[in-house]
Structure 1
Amino acid sequence: MPDKTDLREQLSIPVSGNTSETEAFQSQTLRPVLKLQNEIYFMLFQNYAVSKIPDFNSLTTDKKIIFIDQSHRKDHALRNLFIGMTIGMFTAEEMEVYILDKNVFNKRIITMLTERLKSQMELI
Structure 2
Amino acid sequence: MEPRDILLLELRGETIGTITEQSSSEEKFQNRTLRPILKLQNDLFVAVFINYAVKQKNIFFTLSPEKKLGYIENTIQRDIKFRNSLKGMIIALFTINEYHEYIKNSSNLNKRMMNMLIERLKNNILLMENVAL
Structure 2 counterpart of 1:62, from 63, 66, 69: 66
Structure 1 counterpart of 2:45, from 41, 48, 61: 41
Gaps (5+ residues) in structure 2?
129-133
Tell me the residue number matched to 1:51: 55
TM-score under structure 2 normalisation? 0.88
Tell me the residue number matched to 1:26: 30
Q: CA RMSD in A?
A: 1.3
- What SS does the aligned partner of 1:110 have? helix
Tell me the residue number matched to 1:14: 18
User: Which ranges of 4 or more aligned residues in structure 1 deviate by more than 4 Å?
Assistant: none
Deviations 1:46-98 (A, max 9, x none): 11012113253232111111110110111000110011000000000000100
Say if 2:117 is the partner of 1:120: no
Q: Which amino acid in structure 2 is aligned with residue 91 of structure 1? A: T
Q: Which amino acid in structure 2 is aligned with residue 5 of structure 1? A: L
Cα 1:78–1:12 shift into 2, 3 Å: closer
Tell me the residue number matched to 2:9: 5
The answer on whether the counterparts of 2:12 and 2:37 sit within 8 Å (CA) in structure 1 is yes
How many correspondences in the alignment? 124
Structure 2 counterpart of 1:106, from 98, 104, 110: 110
In 2, Cα distance between equivalents of 1:70 and 1:55: 13
Q: Which amino acid in structure 1 is aligned with residue 14 of structure 2? A: Q
